[in-house]
């Protein structure tokens, strides 16, 4: 084996082997089914830290269950990501100074497919680099044939049940992308703006009302002004008419209790029903009052084009919008409207005002409420069973509190607008004839058949496509073959767990639950593990514009500073930030990023995966875990060196041979490490089952480093190197060395697949273990027969002995290698026999020159002291040790013990503690005090002795 762990040499090779040999496919046998659906990444996307984290967790679960013998499927696939992907290709066209309309629908879609072919493999290649053991044979894509069938099937069935309908409603309109978007795709942020106070004169010339608005240009579409019926100031005006400024129109004053807050602004609200959701609701409530005034369209006046410019109303009978504003962009129109109001003396004042501005999550454009025809899913009937599924515990959130977020949303859910005015996606399976009739069916032929329309009867398909999340919502069953009743569907639906970030609980999780219950009559998964966001080391969200994005592949492979700089500063939306990003990057990564390998990265993700918490990605951590890999690597190297070609009391694989007990002798250390291993196995399994990957990682780390390496490997040396040690003892130690390592590798494999496979291939034969790959070997389980409390206790004695001497050496500046003579005072029979039995361990790890037992009541010469239980371990001062230093050391130790003893005494002196605390707790305190007092007595005597010199 190489001296230093080198991830690159092993990772690619093993992944290829695993995949080629078909290890990722579900096995035929298995008592239980275990299945996870990958949250499908954007087919043209690239891997980010969130994917890295998410997939590490899933792969750990999958590998763990596969090793446990479950029939395990991790379903791979990608999402067509309608708007996101279309935008990328539109940007490419833009570079050629073309628009999608220049190409036409068909050509444009072809172009997107081309782009998908070109970049589509990227994300899946990167998932492979992470070691993800996905069943690639069955990879799916949301727009592949089967999934498209599923989408149509669902649409048609929902339509037939009346759960999908078409209607003219106010939607969130993205004027840049020219499409409706759902509520979830709108992000509101507080921005600085103004509040304009505008005077609306009464038609009877008897005064005016003042309305306050943040959007004066929408005045052009006002149909009323609303006041609160309880507001004394305006009550007498209700029903009167107002002169709507700039338009020559008259609008009524209406009363609306629900919407108008008399305390806010002037207490008068202009109502613009076609451009504001609340106003639309007001309009619906007061339609009659509003249309009494003979307003065109009943007052529902759309003033904007799809680009959010002021619309031409030439097609209308009345010229509702004055000529001068027509064609102006909404913000230009705002300026003009404000200026004109000012000229006419109708603008009273302008206040600065903070307001929430809604923007499209993809385009960043300010969203307009806009009146259009759209398709909707009637959601309430679907939401009800989905709420119940979580209430009843059929679906469990981890951590539990996310269910509150889920309920909150599900109980206030609005109908889902599923049509999008874009081209990339599943075309809505609806056809129209020239009379405006709508026919819904799986395809045109079916529509003609069921509605008995002749082949030449003109029909055209709806131009719109479905929201991307519509197909994602079907993912847990569409990928398994639905609507066909396939074997995979039977085996793996419902799936076991969904692993995802909280950001898509509404977008995706809730919708999968609704669709799963509706079409499969069962939940899509039993558990939802919700993890946090991966942030940078300062806790900031990673984003291109901040220039703080880390690419998981760069952490795996490493990257030169210059390349990293180029990557972070090229193709930016705001090039002026490049300089700052360059500075930050140079400061944080002066030498670029070293290569850490996949296993280190995965272990880091696991170690940081505390539940319900975002993770700040700290380079120190990944470095530490890279070192851990190196530690494991070198420990294995040591084992190989000592075991290869030697007799380990292990027969060749499958022969079942192992040396008879008489030829095999286990040392204390052997029995101890085997016992500790059993506990580690339990801890790791419990942690993974409970989604505590941080605990799993920690248990592995501590066992490997602090027990196996720090103690056990060291303790194996005196046995293996002692020419006087029996062959049986050596055999026992070799066997333990290699067997524990082999177990440890399997224990670690779910988190770190590559390094464990690489080492296992060499170690397994020596451990007498058969198998082609570690992937399919059983996950280690606790063996009660190997738990040895006596050995653990005895080992504790040995460790205390060694630590005591090391401590004296460390604090006294005695070279660790310096061999010192040791005297034992107050040593019991047991102490003496332990010291004798484990002399080789003590000599080797504490570098003791000699160990001599003093007769009772002999306190020995002036010495430095360590306590092991009641026994005093003495290192004589003579020449070695500074008297004053030892006095100081003792005083420190005494004062610590004394403080402790006082605290305990006080506790025990408190009658209510003794009365009320459980007896076991009281006894524990008593024992502690006893021990303390004995130790104190012993140390004080020692101190007196040295002081009196």
Least Å distance between CB 658 and RNA? Answer: 25
Is-contact 354 193, C-beta < 8 A? Answer: yes
Which one of 40, 267, 547, 552 is in contact with RNA (CB under 7 A)? 267
Q: Which stretch binds RNA (CB under 7 A): 246-254, 456-464, 629-637, 862-870?
A: 629-637
- Contact status: 408 vs RNA (CB under 7 A): yes
- Contact status: 415 vs RNA (CB under 7 A): no
Q: Give the ranges where 68-169 is alpha helix by DSSP (H).
A: 82-95, 100-103, 105-129, 145-160
Least Å distance between CB 469 and RNA? Answer: 14
The contacts found for 9-15 with CB under 8 angstroms, 24 or more apart, are 10/754, 10/755, 10/757, 10/758, 11/129, 11/131, 11/556, 11/597, 11/598, 11/599, 11/754, 14/753, 14/754, 14/757, 14/758, 15/128, 15/129, 15/131, 15/754
Rounded Cα–Cα distance for residues 472 and 492 (Å)? 17
Is-contact 439 430, C-beta < 8 A? Answer: yes
Which one of 916, 923, 930, 937 is in contact with RNA (CB under 7 A)? 916
Measured from the CB atom, is 227 or 825 closer to RNA? 227
Which one of 401, 543, 545, 947 is in contact with RNA (CB under 7 A)? 401
Which one of 4, 454, 576, 857 is in contact with RNA (CB under 7 A)? 4
- Contact status: 56 vs RNA (CB under 7 A): no
Which one of 266, 302, 372, 461 is in contact with RNA (CB under 7 A)? 266
Which one of 138, 169, 717, 837 is in contact with RNA (CB under 7 A)? 717
Least Å distance between CB 221 and RNA? Answer: 12
Which one of 12, 27, 305, 537 is in contact with RNA (CB under 7 A)? 537
- Contact status: 610 vs RNA (CB under 7 A): yes
Site for RNA in 884-913 (CB under 7 A): 896, 900, 903, 907, 910, 912-913
Measured from the CB atom, is 50 or 77 closer to RNA? 50
Site for RNA in 671-710 (CB under 7 A): 694-695, 698, 701, 705, 709-710
Q: Which stretch binds RNA (CB under 7 A): 285-293, 349-357, 724-732, 850-858?
A: 349-357
Three-state secondary structure call for residue 700 = helix
- Contact status: 184 vs RNA (CB under 7 A): yes
Q: How far is CA 636 from CA 704, 749, 776, 844, in A?
A: 11, 15, 21, 21
Peptide bond into 483 cis (omega under 30): yes
Rounded Cα–Cα distance for residues 808 and 826 (Å)? 19
Determine whether 349 is exposed, middle or buried from the number of CB atoms within 10 Å of its CB (0-12, 13-18, 19+): exposed
Q: How many residues does the chain have?
A: 949
Which one of 16, 344, 563, 627 is in contact with RNA (CB under 7 A)? 627
Three-state secondary structure call for residue 553 = helix
Q: Which stretch binds RNA (CB under 7 A): 264-272, 473-481, 482-490, 548-556?
A: 264-272
Rounded Cα–Cα distance for residues 818 and 534 (Å)? 49
- Contact status: 719 vs RNA (CB under 7 A): no
Neighbours of 214 (CB within 10 A): 15
Site for RNA in 856-885 (CB under 7 A): none
Measured from the CB atom, is 347 or 447 closer to RNA? 347
Least Å distance between CB 66 and RNA? Answer: 25
Q: Which stretch binds RNA (CB under 7 A): 295-303, 514-522, 534-542, 828-836?
A: 534-542
- Contact status: 618 vs RNA (CB under 7 A): yes
Beta-bridged to residue 501, according to DSSP, are 531
Measured from the CB atom, is 28 or 538 closer to RNA? 538
Which one of 229, 483, 624, 869 is in contact with RNA (CB under 7 A)? 624
Q: How many residues bind RNA, per CB under 7 A?
A: 99
Site for RNA in 452-491 (CB under 7 A): none
Measured from the CB atom, is 154 or 499 closer to RNA? 499
Name which of 217, 455, 441, 233 is nearest 336 in CA terms.
217
Which one of 136, 194, 277, 432 is in contact with RNA (CB under 7 A)? 277
Residue 939 CA, chain-centre distance (Å), reads 53
- Contact status: 553 vs RNA (CB under 7 A): no
Secondary-structure breakdown of the chain: helix, strand, coil percentages, each rounded to the nearest 5: 50, 20, 35
Which one of 246, 320, 601, 615 is in contact with RNA (CB under 7 A)? 615
Beta-bridged to residue 210, according to DSSP, are 199
Is-contact 856 832, C-beta < 8 A? Answer: no
Which one of 630, 682, 761, 832 is in contact with RNA (CB under 7 A)? 630
SS3 labels along 590-603: ECEECCCCHHHHHH
Which one of 111, 166, 259, 285 is in contact with RNA (CB under 7 A)? 259
Least Å distance between CB 522 and RNA? Answer: 27
SS3 labels along 911-932: HHHHHHCCHHHHHHHHHHHHHH
Q: Which stretch binds RNA (CB under 7 A): 115-123, 418-426, 573-581, 811-819?
A: 811-819
Site for RNA in 187-206 (CB under 7 A): 187-188, 190, 195
Q: Give the ranges where 300-401 is alpha helix by DSSP (H).
A: 330-343, 380-391
Which one of 121, 207, 381, 816 is in contact with RNA (CB under 7 A)? 816
Measured from the CB atom, is 837 or 928 closer to RNA? 928
Site for RNA in 589-608 (CB under 7 A): 608
DSSP letter at 509?
I
Least Å distance between CB 234 and RNA? Answer: 11
SS3 labels along 390-401: HHCCCCEEECCC
Which one of 68, 116, 140, 626 is in contact with RNA (CB under 7 A)? 626
Rounded Cα–Cα distance for residues 253 and 225 (Å)? 5
Measured from the CB atom, is 432 or 502 closer to RNA? 502
Least Å distance between CB 634 and RNA? Answer: 3
Which one of 143, 180, 244, 260 is in contact with RNA (CB under 7 A)? 260
Which one of 486, 638, 765, 887 is in contact with RNA (CB under 7 A)? 638
Least Å distance between CB 264 and RNA? Answer: 4
Site for RNA in 494-513 (CB under 7 A): 502-503, 506
Measured from the CB atom, is 89 or 338 closer to RNA? 338
- 808 φ, ψ (degrees, to nearest 5): -60, -45
Q: How far is CA 396 from CA 38, 400, 518, 528, 939, in A?
A: 18, 7, 19, 6, 56
Is-contact 386 513, C-beta < 8 A? Answer: yes
Site for RNA in 124-183 (CB under 7 A): 183
Rounded Cα–Cα distance for residues 761 and 775 (Å)? 11
Instruction: Please count the CA atoms within 13 angstroms of the CA of 243 that sit on its side-chain side.
Output: 14
Q: Which stretch binds RNA (CB under 7 A): 319-327, 635-643, 664-672, 784-792?
A: 635-643
- Contact status: 928 vs RNA (CB under 7 A): yes
Site for RNA in 729-748 (CB under 7 A): none
DSSP letter at 346?
-
- Contact status: 297 vs RNA (CB under 7 A): no
Strand 430-432 with 460-461, pairing: antiparallel
Name which of 389, 376, 379 is nearest 513 in CA terms.
389
- Contact status: 364 vs RNA (CB under 7 A): no
Least Å distance between CB 25 and RNA? Answer: 34
H or E element, residue 619: helix 619-643
Site for RNA in 202-231 (CB under 7 A): 211-215
Which one of 146, 229, 265, 869 is in contact with RNA (CB under 7 A)? 265
């Amino acid at each position: 084996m190489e001296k230093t762990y080198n991830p690159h040499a092993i990772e690619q090779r093993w992944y290829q082997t695993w995949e080629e040999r078909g290890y990722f496919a579900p096995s035929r046998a298995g008592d239980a089914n275990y299945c996870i659906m990958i949250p499908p990444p954007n087919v043209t996307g690239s891997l980010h830290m969130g994917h890295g984290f998410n997939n590490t967790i899933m792969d750990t679960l999958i590998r763990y269950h596969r090793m446990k013998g479950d029939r395990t499927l991790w379903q791979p696939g990608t999402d067509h990501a309608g708007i996101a992907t279309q935008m990328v290709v539109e940007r490419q066209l833009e570079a050629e100074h073309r628009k999608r309309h220049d190409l036409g629908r068909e050509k444009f879609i072809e172009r997107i497919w081309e782009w998908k072919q070109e970049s589509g493999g990227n994300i899946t290649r990167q998932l492979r680099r992470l070691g993800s053991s996905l069943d690639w044979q069955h990879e799916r894509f949301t727009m592949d044939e089967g999934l498209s069938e599923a989408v149509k099937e669902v649409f048609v069935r929902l339509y037939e049940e009346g759960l999908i309908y078409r209607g003219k409603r106010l939607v969130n309109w993205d004027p840049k992308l020219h499409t409706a978007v759902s509520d979830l795709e709108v992000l509101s942020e507080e921005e600085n703006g103004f509040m304009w106070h505008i005077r609306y004169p009464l038609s009877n010339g008897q005064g005016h009302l003042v309305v306050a608005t943040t959007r004066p240009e929408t005045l052009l579409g006002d149909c009323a002004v609303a006041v609160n019926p309880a507001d004394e100031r305006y009550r007498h005006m209700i029903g009167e008419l107002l002169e709507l400024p700039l338009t020559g129109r008259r609008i009524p004053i209406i009363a609306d209790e629900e919407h108008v807050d008399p305390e806010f602004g002037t207490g008068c609200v202009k109502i613009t029903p076609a451009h504001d959701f609340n106003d639309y609701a007001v309009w619906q409530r007061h339609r009659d009052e509003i249309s009494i005034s003979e307003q065109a369209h009943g007052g529902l006046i759309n003033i904007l084009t799809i680009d959010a410019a002021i619309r031409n109303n030439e097609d209308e009978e009345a010229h509702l919008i004055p000529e001068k504003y027509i064609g102006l962009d909404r913000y230009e129109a705002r300026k003009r409207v404000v200026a004109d109001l000012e000229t006419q003396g109708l603008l009273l004042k302008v206040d600065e005002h903070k307001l929430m501005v809604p923007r499209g999550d993809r385009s960043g454009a300010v969203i307009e409420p806009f009146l259009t025809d759209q398709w909707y899913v009637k959601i309430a009937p679907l939401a009800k069973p989905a709420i119940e599924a979580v209430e009843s515990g059929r679906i469990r959130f981890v951590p539990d509190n996310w269910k509150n977020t889920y309920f909150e949303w599900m109980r206030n859910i609005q109908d889902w607008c599923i049509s999008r005015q874009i081209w990339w996606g599943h075309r809505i399976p609806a056809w129209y004839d020239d009379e405006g009739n709508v026919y819904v069916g799986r395809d045109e032929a079916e529509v003609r058949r069921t509605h008995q329309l002749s082949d030449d009867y003109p029909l055209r398909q709806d131009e719109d496509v479905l929201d991307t999340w519509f197909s994602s919502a079907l993912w847990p069953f569409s990928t398994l073959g639905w609507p066909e009743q396939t074997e995979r569907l039977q085996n793996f639906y419902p799936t076991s767990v969904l692993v995802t970030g909280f950001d898509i609980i509404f977008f995706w999780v809730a919708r999968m639950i609704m669709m799963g219950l509706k079409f499969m009559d069962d939940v899509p998964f039993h558990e939802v593990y919700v993890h946090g966001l991966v942030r940078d080391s300062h806790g900031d969200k990673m984003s291109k514009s901040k220039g703080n994005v880390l690419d998981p592949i760069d952490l795996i492979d490493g990257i030169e500073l210059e390349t990293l700089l180029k990557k972070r500063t090229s193709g930016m939306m705001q090039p002026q930030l490049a300089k700052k990003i360059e500075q930050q990057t140079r400061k944080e990564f002066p030498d670029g990023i070293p290569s850490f390998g996949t296993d280190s990265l995965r272990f880091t993700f696991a170690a940081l995966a505390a539940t319900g918490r975002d993770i700040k990605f700290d380079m120190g951590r990944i470095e530490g875990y890279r070192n851990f890999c190196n530690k494991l690597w070198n420990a294995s190297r040591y084992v190989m060196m000592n075991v290869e070609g030697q007799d380990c009391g292990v027969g060749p694989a499958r022969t079942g041979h192992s040396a008879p007990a008489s030829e095999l002798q286990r040392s204390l250390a052997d029995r101890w490490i085997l016992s500790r291993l059993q506990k580690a196995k339990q801890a790791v399994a419990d942690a993974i089952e409970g989604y505590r990957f941080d605990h799993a990682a920690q248990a592995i780390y501590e066992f490997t480093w602090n027990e196996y390496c720090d103690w056990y490997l060291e303790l194996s040396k005196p046995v293996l190197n002692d020419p006087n040690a029996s062959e049986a003892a050596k055999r026992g130690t070799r066997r333990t060395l290699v067997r524990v390592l082999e177990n440890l590798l399997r224990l670690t494999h779910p988190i770190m697949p590559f390094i464990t496979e690489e080492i296992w291939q060499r170690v397994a034969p020596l451990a007498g273990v058969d198998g082609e790959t570690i992937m399919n070997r059983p996950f280690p389980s606790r063996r009660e027969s190997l738990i040895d409390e006596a050995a653990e206790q005895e080992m504790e004695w040995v460790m205390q002995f060694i630590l005591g001497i090391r401590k004296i050496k460390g604090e006294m500046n005695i070279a660790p290698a310096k061999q010192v003579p040791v005297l034992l005072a107050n040593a019991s029979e047991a102490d003496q026999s332990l010291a004798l039995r484990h002399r080789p361990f003590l000599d080797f790890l504490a570098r003791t020159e000699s160990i001599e037992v003093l007769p009772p009541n002999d306190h020995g010469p002036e010495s430095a002291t360590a306590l092991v239980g009641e026994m005093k371990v003495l290192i004589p001062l003579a020449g070695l040790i500074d008297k004053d230093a030892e006095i100081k050391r003792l005083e420190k130790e005494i004062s610590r013990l004394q403080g402790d003893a006082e605290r305990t005494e006080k506790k025990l002196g408190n009658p209510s503690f003794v009365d009320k605390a459980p007896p076991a707790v009281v006894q524990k305190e008593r024992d502690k005090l006893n021990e303390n007092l004995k130790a104190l007595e012993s140390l004080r005597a020692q101190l007196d002795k040295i002081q009196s010199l």
